[in-house]
Amino acid sequence: MTQATYKLNQLQHYYGDKRVLDIDGLQIQKGSITGLTGPNGSGKSTLLKIMAFALKPTAGEVWFNGRREVPLSPRVRSRVTLLTQKPYLLKRSVFDNIAYGLKIRRDRDNLDNRIKEALASVGLSYDGFAHRQ
Amino acid sequence: MDFIVAGFIKAIELLINFDHSTYTAVSATLQASTCSMLISLGAGLPCGFLLGYFNFKWKRPLRTVLDTLLALPTVSVGLLVYAFISSQGPLGQFGLLFTLTGIAIGQTILAFPIVTAITASIVENIDPELKLTLVSLGAGKRNIIMTCLWEVRYGLLAAAVTAYGRVLTEVGISMMVGGNIKYHTRTITTAIALETNKGMFADGIALGIVLIGIAFAVNISLSFLRKQ
């Protein structure tokens, strides 16, 4: 049997006194697609934030690729990405917004061309948009 | 009305003729205010960030105290600093009374709560999506802090300008701690107070124009930086 990408044990999270998450156990296998359903306030976003290592659970463990991990751990920081429902654009140019993730990973090779490609993939020209604020 | 017009003419004369007493007052003002602002910003920005970013037990009471200190009367600060640095005070042996350093200490006490409180408010109001976005993009603690500060840079600039405005225009601290000594600790504001008391309105207006000119120059420079 292959190792689970995610393994959650006895996970609980509270906002103040209110418990929003209580999961005894959950495993997500590599390459699988998992959907989360539930009414408003049932903890879907909280669970995603915990799984993206952007939020520390009140109690419980999150295992990623066989290791117990915590938020901001260098091992998971650049490997797990959460695409949020409401995008936040940094107060800087389009170029700098796109390059931010690469720059903090110190991945600056061929930056101009990669940004040109990223802009082209959404139908925007580099010359027209890259340096807009 | 004549004395006001005469004041403007005198102002131009004093500045063109490089009047020694005017320029020493300008120099004293700039030295004390620059020193106090550097210390206030150096300490106030990190303290404000910590206060606004993190939640801890005494955060609310601390914010209340800090917000109260925003309205600190300058004469009260002057009195407090005077009591500490006068020869009988606990810091008397350092000889800080009637020096520009003494004025700078008082002005730092005045500016620090302004910088800290405004920074804390700005940081508290940072969109929570920003941190989530940064973490999900792979940012570490240092990157998160630096990017958050960069995102609110215009607000921080406003905090600095507000504090500088208060420091530049205060009279109480400079008068009580500095002693208004000509060519030494006389600042523009204490000089204006003195000249007006002597009935020398023209000199007072001249110095007032210089003070407004400095404030204007600072704001123009910051506005230029903002556009960059």
The ranges assigned to domains in chain B are: 2-227
Instruction: Indicate whether A1 belongs to any domain.
Output: no
Nearest to A82 among B136, B151, B153 (CB): B136
Q: Six-digit token pair at A100?
A: 């931010």
Nearest to A78 among B131, B138, B147 (CB): B138
Q: Is A133 helix (H, G, I), strand (E, B) or coil?
A: coil
User: How many other C-beta atoms lie within 10 A of the C-beta of residue B219?
Assistant: 13
Chain B residues bordering chain A (beta-carbon distance below 8 Å)? 127, 129-133, 135-141, 143, 147, 150-151, 153
Nearest to A54 by CA among B52, B54, B145, B134: B134
Class of residue B76 by CB neighbours under 10 A (exposed 0-12, middle 13-18, buried 19+): middle
Instruction: Out of A4-13, A67-76, B135-144, give the one with best mean pLDDT.
Output: A4-13
Q: Does A100 lie in the same domain as A68? A: no
Q: Which amino acid is at A112?
A: D
Instruction: Indicate whether A86 belongs to any domain.
Output: no
Instruction: Indicate whether A122 belongs to any domain.
Output: yes
Instruction: Indicate whether A79 belongs to any domain.
Output: no
Q: Does A103 lie in the same domain as A59? A: no
Nearest residue in B to A85, CA atom: B129
| pLDDT tens for each residue of B44-88 | 999 999 999 888 889 999 999 999 999 899 999 999 999 999 999
What pLDDT score does B203 carry? 82
**Can you tell me the distance from the alpha carbon of B117 to that of B47, in angstroms, rounded to the nearest whole number?**
9
Average pLDDT over residues A29-37: 92
* E-state strands within chain B: none
Residue B18 has pLDDT above 90, yes or no: no
Question: Could you list the residue range(s) of the whole structural domain that residue A48 is in?
Answer: 6-72
Mean pLDDT of chain A: 90
Beta bridge partners of residue A12, listed in sequence order: A22, A59
**Can you tell me the distance from the alpha carbon of B15 to that of B22, in angstroms, rounded to the nearest whole number?**
8
Beta bridge partners of residue A23, listed in sequence order: A11
Q: Does A58 lie in the same domain as A10? A: yes
Q: CB B136 to CB A87 under 8 A? A: no
Instruction: Indicate whether A48 belongs to any domain.
Output: yes
Q: Does A61 lie in the same domain as A13? A: yes
Give contacts of A105 with chain B, Cβ < 8 Å. Answer: 138
| pLDDT tens for each residue of A43-100 | 999 999 999 998 999 999 999 999 999 888 888 888 888 888 888 899 999 999 999 9
Task: Give the pairing type, strands A59-64 and A67-68.
Answer: antiparallel
pLDDT band at B108 (very low <50, low <70, confident <90, very high): very high
CATH class of B2-227: mainly alpha
| Predicted structure pTM score | 0.80
Q: Is A9 helix (H, G, I), strand (E, B) or coil?
A: strand
DSSP state, residue A38:
-
Nearest residue in A to B137, CA atom: A101
Give Cα separations from B21 to B157, B185, B191 (angstroms): 32, 11, 9
Instruction: Indicate whether A87 belongs to any domain.
Output: no
What pLDDT score does A131 carry? 87
Q: CB B139 to CB A83 under 8 A? A: no
What pLDDT score does B65 carry? 93
What pLDDT score does B220 carry? 87
Q: Does A54 lie in the same domain as A10? A: yes
User: How many other C-beta atoms lie within 10 A of the C-beta of residue B106?
Assistant: 30
Longest dimension (CA), chain A: 52
Q: CB B132 to CB A74 under 8 A? A: no
**Can you tell me the distance from the alpha carbon of B103 to that of B196, in angstroms, rounded to the nearest whole number?**
22
Q: CB A52 to CB B133 under 8 A? A: no
Nearest residue in B to A79, CA atom: B138
Q: Does A121 lie in the same domain as A67? A: no
Q: Quote the ipTM score.
A: 0.81
pLDDT band at B200 (very low <50, low <70, confident <90, very high): confident
Nearest to A80 by CA among B127, B139, B129, B144: B139
Chain A residues bordering chain B (beta-carbon distance below 8 Å)? 49, 52-54, 71-72, 74, 77-78, 80-84, 86-88, 90-92, 100-101, 104-105
Nearest to B129 among A78, A81, A84 (CB): A84
CA–centroid distance for A61 within its chain:
18
Give contacts of A81 with chain B, Cβ < 8 Å. Answer: 136-138
Overall domain count for chain A = 2
Q: CB A52 to CB B135 under 8 A? A: yes
Nearest to A49 among B132, B141, B143 (CB): B132
B76 HSE (CA, 13 A, CB side): 7
The residue length of chain B stands at 228
User: How many other C-beta atoms lie within 10 A of the C-beta of residue B1?
Assistant: 5
Nearest residue in A to B154, CA atom: A91
